[in-house]
Amino acid sequence: MMRMVFCALMMLGLAACADGIGLLQGDASSASEPGTDTPRPMERPTTEGTAGLDDPMPLPAGGGGETVATLGDPTEPGLWLRTPLVRVEQEGRVMTEGGASVTLTLIPIEAEPGAGSRISLAAMQALGVSLTDLVPLTVIPG
């Protein structure tokens, strides 16, 4: 008797999990169709108006400008920034977006002005930035 009750309960339980068969099957039209309130992906931007984005950025007349710096050679001592924003080695200053600044040696490198810069370990510590960050800097020669 217990076995029959158990089997009957199992069949009812399994039947409740199914979508139904034959006459008990749900109506196919009841499935939700996407409406106007369904979120859709945004369209991809066109390339119109971006023709000059790959052109090299012009170097300011006195040198300097904006750059993104990463940690340079950590074994090289001193306060320095290797950057394409200057044409000759000179003293200068860099400033973070947060306002921290340090005076250091600006060393030119052969690259486009937007190529980024490498900054010394000591300079990153003086600016109080993380050694693993890409740091946006304002470069001020002189």
pTM score of the predicted model: 0.56
Work out the number of other CB atoms within 10 angstroms of the CB of residue 102: 21
Residue 102 tokens read as 């340090």
Three-state DSSP class for 67? strand
CA distance 141 to 118: 16
What are 49-83's pLDDT values in tens digits?
A: 544 444 444 444 556 789 999 999 999 999 999 99
Name the H helices within 31-97.
Answer: none
pLDDT by residue for the chain (142 residues), tens digit each?
778 877 777 777 766 665 655 555 555 555 556 566 777 777 776 655 544 444 444 444 556 789 999 999 999 999 999 999 999 999 999 999 999 999 999 999 998 878 899 999 999 999 999 999 999 999 999 8
The answer to whether 79 and 101 have CB atoms below 8 angstroms apart is no
DSSP string of 82-125? EETT-SS-EEEEEEETTS-EEEEEEEE-SS-TTS-EEE-HHHHH
- Look at residue 56 in the predicted model and tell me its pLDDT: 45
- Look at residue 53 in the predicted model and tell me its pLDDT: 45
Work out the number of other CB atoms within 10 angstroms of the CB of residue 119: 26
Domain ranges across the chain: 80-141
The answer to whether 86 and 64 have CB atoms below 8 angstroms apart is yes
